[in-house]
Every structure is written in C-alpha cells, then in structure tokens.
Structure 1
Amino acid sequence: MSLSAHPPHPVLATAEDVAGIWRLRRQLEDWIFAQGIDQWRPGEVPEAVIESQVREGQWHVLREGGVLKAALRVLYEDLDFWGAVEEPSVFVHGLMVDRAFAGAGLGASLLDWAAAEGCREGAEWLRLDSAAGNPRLSKYYVGLGFMSVGTQELGGGLFDVTLWQRSVSGAVRGSQTAR
C-alpha cells in the first residue's frame, strides 16, 4: 500500500495515549544515543511533560490496529526555538515513527499532513528544528524540500539546533520524495 495513495490520518492524542507516546520517545532516545547522535538524550523528557502537552492538545498520534505507529506535536507558536515570527506558521516537534515502521515514508507523510493542517489554519510555513550536529537528519529534511534558515544556540548543556522551513503549499512534496 502506497502512503501517497492512502495518506496517514493522525488523531488528537488523549490521556490514554500518554504512556505510548512516552514509550515511543524512550525507544527513539535510546536508538539515537546508540547511533552516537547528540540529540534526544535517554530519559530527558518525563512522562508528566508529555501528559501536560497532551492536555494542551499539542500531540497527534497515528494508530493502526491498536498499535501506536507514530506521533508528533503540532504548534502554532514556538517562542523557545523560533521566537516571535510574523509569518503565520505551523511548527512540528517530536516527530516520532516507531522503528518497526521506519523507512516507509511515514515521517514524510506526517510532515505533509502537518503542512496541510497548517494551511487550513492560515499558516504560510511549516517549521521545525533538528540537532545541528545530525547530518543524516539534515539530509532528510533537505530531501523533503526544507531550507535551513539558521541555527539556534540553546545553551544550558543542550545541543544547538538547525531551523528548517518550507512553504505549506508544498504539502505533497514529502510523500512524493519518499517513494
């Protein structure tokens, strides 16, 4: 089944999804650490933080047959990483695909979904960030049509991030690239 023929339809996460989102985050933190990438550090996000974000309506999840395949946070303001921006934007954080489903274009399709959601809400840009020291992820985002528009130094022992954006009008670009 092609993802472009059957795009994913994430749903707003509920309290019942908190533990699954947290487990997925931990799975990916451990995987990233094992790859030698300084990005998400094992155990850095407590389950209580995810619970609060779910209550605020930030998380969306993709389930199939009762299995949590992926999750992402969708925001319309990101003062911590982007500061105040004039252009209406949709911001994605915490894009996560279970490693069992990696490599099938699901991440690209979810970014397309977020762009389409942002477009419906009047956003002009889909924006996200990634660890500045992660060339593999940088290559992935460039391949999906994102442009690097700067670097943000987070300080406090955290990694620096590259800021990425693409027009929401390119909402189908990612799933075409992933084929």
Structure 2
Amino acid sequence: MIIRRASTADVPRLQRFRADAAAWLSARGSDQWSTAYPDELLLASIQAGDVYLVHLAPAAEPIATVTLDRLADPVLWTDAEAKEPAFYVHKLTLATPGRGAGLGAQLLDWCGDYAARAGARWLRLDAWTTNTRLHSYYKHLGFRHVRTVDAPEAYGSGWVGQRPARSAETALSLPRNPVE
C-alpha cells in the first residue's frame, strides 16, 4: 500500500468518503458526519499538505484517507495542551468502513510515527461524543481519554484522546519525512 498527499482534484472523492461513512454510521444509528464538510475547509487542509489518501497501487482507487496536522482546536484542547508538541488526526475514513482488516490501526500507527519523527510528543484525536464503539476502538489502540467537551462549538465531536507519538513499522509505504 502507498500513500500520497491529496490534491484539489481529489475533493469529490474525499467528500464521497465522508458521505459513504455517514451512510454506514447512520445504518448503525449514529448521526455522525450527517452534514457535509465544507469544501473550502477541505481545500484549505489540502493546500496546507495535511490530507492523505491511501492506495493499494499507484493507479488504484483510494481505500482510506486521513488528515494530519498540528492545529489544536481551542474548543477541545487547553492552552497548555496546545503548547505541547503534538499532531492531530482528523477525518480518518476507510472506503469500506468496519471491514476489520486493521487498516485504521495501521494508519494511526503511521500518524504516530510521522509525529514522532517530527519531534511531537503526542498523537491526538477527537471522536463523535456519542460513538462509544469508536471510543473503545481508540482506547484499544492505546489512546487515553483526556476529556469530553460538551459544547456546541465541538459540533458533536467532543471526545478527545491522546497517546504518545512513537516510531512504528507498518505495511503502508507512506511518506516518512514530515517536511515532504
């Protein structure tokens, strides 16, 4: 598997990832991601070089996406936490949600490795406040629940967790240099 940075041409596919995941979640009783993500915010993340697509082969359709950045959301993270060296995982989405192949865990391991190589102490994420299955999944992968923020500004995604950034070997052939 390989990963590449997303380009503006990938916006329709990235929006489809979200819509497909929202439909999968809805079928399981969750309203997570039930509203479209604004194109202008997605474009800003792409232009910053923070959005990645995972492929089985260079010409194959993407099988996953993740956004990885250094932007601590002030609604979710305290000023003291925001000063700590950390990377933040957003919008990790698989083309086939719930398939159980370990791709999400591999992608999170790569994110942690990327963060560690860039000198970060933490890999952080937030999750839909009511998605307890996702909370359990993240805890199983070593994330510690920091707090749950119950504020309208959290847009329903107020469960926050972190784990130490650490080196990891994965089956993914991804960019290793944080400054690429």
Instruction: Look up the equivalent residue of 2:62 and give its one-letter code.
Output: L
The answer to whether the Cα contact below 8 Å between 2:21 and 2:97 also exists between their aligned partners in 1 is no
Partner of 1:158: 155
Q: Are 2:3 and 1:10 aligned?
A: yes
Deviation of 1:154 (Å)? 3.1
Name the SS of the counterpart of 1:99 in structure 2. Answer: coil
1:156 Cα deviation after fit:
5.5
SS in 1 for 2:166: helix
Within 2, Cα distance between the matches of 1:157 and 1:163? 10
Superposed CA deviations along residues 131-154 of structure 1, whole A, max 9, x for unmatched, are 121111011011101110111123
Report what 2:130 is aligned to. Answer: 133
- 1:24: which partner in 2? 17
Q: Note the residue ranges of structure 1 that are not aligned, 5 or more in a row.
A: 1-7, 174-179
Partners of 2:2 and 2:56 within 8 A in 1: no
Identity %, equivalent residues = 31
TM-score by length of 2: 0.82
- Counterparts of 1:49-68 in structure 2, within 5 Å, are 49-65=41-57, 66-68=60-62
When structure 1 is superposed on structure 2, of 120-129 and 13-22 the one drifting more is: 13-22
Deviations 1:11-55 (A, max 9, x none): 2111222211111111111111221113211x4213343223211
Q: CA deviation at 1:160?
A: 4.9
TM-aligned CA distance change 1:171 to 1:86, over 3 Å:
farther
Mapped pair 1:34 → 2:31: no
The corresponding residue for 2:77 is 82
Match of 2:39 among 24, 35, 47: 47
Question: For residues 154 and 43 of structure 2, what CA distance do their matches in structure 1 show?
Answer: 25
Q: CA deviation at 1:71?
A: 0.3
Q: Is the 8 A contact 2:89 2:111 kept in 1?
A: yes
Question: Could you say which residue in structure 1 is the equivalent of 2:116?
Answer: 119
How many residues align? The count is 166
Indicate whether 1:71 and 2:68 are aligned.
no
Residue 143 in structure 1 maps to residue 140 in structure 2: yes
What RMSD, in angstroms, separates the aligned Cα atoms of the two structures? 2.3
Task: Give unpaired runs (5+ residues) of structure 2.
Answer: 171-180
Asked if structure 2 preserves the Cα contact closer than 8 Å seen for 1:33 and 1:40, the reply is no
Distance 1:35-1:15 versus aligned 2 partners, 3 A rule: same
Q: Verify the 8 A CA contact 1:154 1:160 in the aligned structure 2.
A: no
What is the CA–CA distance in structure 2 between the aligned matches of 1:48 and 1:160, rounded to whole Å?
20
Given that 1:32 and 1:39 are in contact with CA atoms closer than 8 Å, whether structure 2 keeps it comes out as yes
> Is the 1:38–1:159 contact (alpha carbons within 8 Å) kept by the matching residues of 2?
no
1:109 is matched with which residue?
A: 106
